[in-house]
């Protein structure tokens, strides 16, 4: 993959390099994946998109999937490669500007996206699923009860937006509680979706 970056993207890469350089520990895998491993196929090709330090990629590889992991940050990718090697896991971790080079159509059986939002990329993510493939997606919402997550609404989904941007997929699981009821309990600040690429009619 080409690593030639425009100035804005290069500045973004440097920002994330600095953040991952100072990260004290690996974050846990996304709840949407960790709590729903039973839905994964027994084998297949998986992509952890905007993988960061790669907790989701590592978890997918432990399940026996053939895992690729992409991120803009070379620091994150280097750390993921070391973590995978330490566990004896084969993960194809690559520095990638995937907004310029989105995943290929029908390339993956599983795609995981956590805490990343580029509305321009949503169509490409859906198209990158093979028939029957699963999308695991989790990120922040505008209807939040704490200040966790990005300050800009540009990087937060509107209410039910995660559902309708992937409306061509079959919904397997969706959770978004917003500010309903007792806000000290439950699933707050984020939305999660598991959806499947429909199989062609026979």
**What percentage of residues in the chain have a pLDDT greater than 70?**
94
Name the pairing type of β-strands 190-196 and 170-175.
antiparallel
Residue 60 lies in a domain: yes
Q: What does the alpha-carbon distance between residue 190 and residue 126 come to, in Å, rounded to a whole number?
A: 20
Residue 78 lies in a domain: yes
Residue 7 in this model has a pLDDT that exceeds 70: no
At a CB cut-off of 8 Å and minimum separation 6, what does 176 contact? Answer: 141, 143, 159, 160, 162, 187, 190, 191, 192
Supply the range of the domain harboring residue 133.
Answer: 7-21+28-196
**What percentage of residues in the chain have a pLDDT greater than 90?**
80
Sheet holding 190-196, edge to edge: 91-95, 66-71, 45-49, 108-114, 129-140, 190-196, 170-175
Name the average pLDDT for the chain. Answer: 92
Residue 119 lies in a domain: yes
**Which region, left, alpha or beta, applies to residue 75 given φ > 0 means left and ψ of -120 to 50 means alpha?**
alpha
Residue 1 lies in a domain: no
Residue 16 in this model has a pLDDT that exceeds 70: no
Residue 186 lies in a domain: yes
Mean pLDDT of 162-182: 96
Residue 184 in this model has a pLDDT that exceeds 70: yes
Residue 135 lies in a domain: yes
Query: Phi/psi of residue 74, each to 5°?
Result: -70, -30
Burial label for 107, CB within 10 Å (0-12, 13-18, 19+), is middle
What is the reported pLDDT for 53? Answer: 95
**Of 95 and 4, more confident:** 95
What is the reported pLDDT for 134? Answer: 98
User: The domain spanning residue 34 has which CATH number?
Assistant: 3.40.50.150
What is the reported pLDDT for 167? Answer: 96
Give the chain's end-to-end CA distance (angstroms, integer).
36
Residue 36 lies in a domain: yes
Mean pLDDT of 54-78: 97
Residue 6 in tokens: 């425009």
At a CB cut-off of 8 Å and minimum separation 6, what does 2 contact? Answer: 97, 101
Alpha carbon 174 to its chain centroid, in Å, reads 15
Residue 105 in tokens: 């159509």
Q: Comparing C-alpha atoms, which of 22, 13, 166, 25 is closest to residue 95? A: 13
Domain total of the chain: 1
What is the reported pLDDT for 5? Answer: 54
Alpha carbon 139 to its chain centroid, in Å, reads 8
Residue 85 lies in a domain: yes
Residue 2 in this model has a pLDDT that exceeds 50: no
Mean pLDDT of 53-57: 97
pLDDT in tens, 96-154: 999 899 999 999 999 999 999 999 999 999 999 999 999 999 999 999 899 888 888 89
If pLDDT is split at 50, 70 and 90, which confidence band does 200 have? Answer: confident
């Amino acid at each position: 993959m080409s690593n030639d970056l425009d100035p804005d993207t290069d500045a973004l890469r440097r920002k994330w390099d600095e953040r991952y350089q100072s990260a004290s520990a690996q974050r846990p895998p996304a709840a949407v994946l960790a709590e729903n491993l039973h839905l994964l196929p027994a084998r297949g090709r998986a992509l952890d998109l905007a993988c960061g330090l790669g907790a989701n990629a590592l978890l997918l590889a432990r399940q026996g999937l053939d895992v690729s992991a992409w991120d803009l940050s070379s620091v994150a990718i280097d750390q993921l490669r070391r973590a995978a090697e330490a566990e004896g896991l084969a993960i194809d971790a690559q520095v990638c500007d995937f907004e310029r080079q989105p995943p290929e159509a029908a390339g993956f059986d599983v795609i995981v996206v956590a805490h990343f939002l580029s509305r321009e990329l949503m169509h490409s993510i859906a198209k990158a699923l093979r028939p029957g493939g699963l999308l695991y997606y989790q990120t922040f919402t505008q209807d939040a009860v704490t200040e966790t997550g990005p300050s800009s609404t540009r990087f937060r989904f509107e209410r039910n937006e995660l559902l309708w941007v992937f409306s061509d997929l079959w919904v397997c699981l969706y959770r978004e509680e917003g500010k309903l009821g007792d806000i000290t309990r439950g699933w707050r600040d984020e939305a999660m979706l598991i959806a499947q690429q429909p199989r062609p009619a026979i």
